[in-house]
Amino acid sequence: MDFILGPLYNLFGWLTRMFYGFFGNYGVAIIALTILIRGLLIPLNIKSQKASIKMQALSSKQAELQRKYGDDKQKYQEELVKLQQENGAMGLSGCLLPILQLFFIWPIFRIVSGPLVYLSQVTKENVEAMITLGQNLGVLGGNVVVSNHIGLISALSSNGGFLNECISKGYMAFDQMLDLHFLGIDLTMTPSINPVTIFKEPGTYLPLLIFPILVVLTQVFSMQFAKHLKPGYKQEQEAKKRAKNNPAREGQVQENTQAETTMKIMNWTMPLIMLYTTFIMPAAMGLYWIVGGIMGIITQVIVYYMFTKPYELKKAEIEAKKEAIFKKKAQTDASGDKKGKKNSKKK
């Protein structure tokens, strides 16, 4: 994993170091890194939304395929994929986004769990030497490793003698000790749900609970925004109501329901993973998820006003024109029938 993701670790570490040097605050550096990463994913969001809009535009043809092939699900799927490919409506980017979010967990975790290496630029060999020294002196437990040396940072911050010993041996310089707080909260600490731990140090652990709470809230809001701002949301809800009274639409509704169930599972998987990571990783990881959730909401609003809303307005305009033409034709046919009846009476 390190061999494959090593360059990405170094890149994310360099970016965080640059942001820390510019802002002088660890929390702000994490926020800036998150904004940059999520900003680079915006084109993928836009591509996904465009594919979704194209799928909506093809809904009538999709319904025709459903009627044409009936119970032949395999043939229907083949023709549906063919239709999507021909019209550039393959929504693979929608699946790619959560995969990339999962993929980015590793480099972000490596940065927040190893700031001495990636921010302070202490060599891994020196970190390992400090861990060994700390364990020999009895100030470190056996669970501190080079890839996750948060316990080492805590020992260096709280034990002046240990810090001076590491500096005197040339393992690190004094200015390589960074302030890893944000709004008074130590971002190297991990939130806990253990009441004993919380009540033992309430000043430390109670403020940390804000991170998992905000992670859940931002992700729930993000999912709700995604659901209500997606193309054709109102039409889908109306179609479901009509389908309940129309057995002919039962197959299509069942297929849509299955797709929605799969999407719901995917949507809830990410928040659960995020919530879990906030309780096993430093609070900086929770800050990354929170800012990422806010960025997701902002992206959805931007994409909605740039693409979805204009599409829906255009669609409504076309539907209104069709309806006007239909009414005009109906009125013309009705007047023709009246004239025909009058002429027959005269005869």
List per-residue pLDDT tens for the chain, 347 residues long.
Answer: 666 778 888 899 999 999 999 999 999 999 999 999 888 888 877 777 777 676 666 666 766 766 776 666 676 677 677 766 666 555 555 566 667 777 788 888 889 988 999 999 999 999 999 999 988 888 887 778 888 888 899 889 888 899 999 999 999 998 888 889 999 899 998 898 888 888 888 888 899 999 999 998 998 888 888 777 776 666 666 666 666 666 555 555 455 555 566 666 766 777 888 888 889 889 999 999 999 889 888 888 888 888 778 877 877 777 777 777 877 776 676 666 555 555 555 55
Domain presence at residue 8: yes
Radius of gyration for the alpha carbons in the chain, expressed in angstroms and rounded: 29
Q: Which domain holds residue 105?
A: 2-118+208-328
Domain presence at residue 88: yes
Domain presence at residue 299: yes
The pLDDT assigned to 12 comes to: 92
Q: Is the dihedral of CA 85, 309, 255, 238 positive or negative?
A: negative
- Beta carbons of 204 and 210 less than 8 angstroms apart: no
Structural domain count of the chain: 1
The pLDDT assigned to 125 comes to: 93
Domain presence at residue 165: no
The pLDDT assigned to 324 comes to: 77
Domain presence at residue 128: no
Domain presence at residue 162: no
Domain presence at residue 176: no
The pLDDT assigned to 340 comes to: 58
Distance CA 102, CA 271 (A): 11
Strands (E), 110-206: 181-182, 185-186
User: Which residue, 183, 135, 136, 134, is CA-closest to 157?
Assistant: 134
Distance CA 290, CA 215 (A): 5
The pLDDT assigned to 244 comes to: 62
Residue 278's contacts (CB-CB under 8 Å, 6 or more residues apart) are 191, 211, 212, 215, 285, 286, 289
- pTM for this entry: 0.78
Domain presence at residue 108: yes
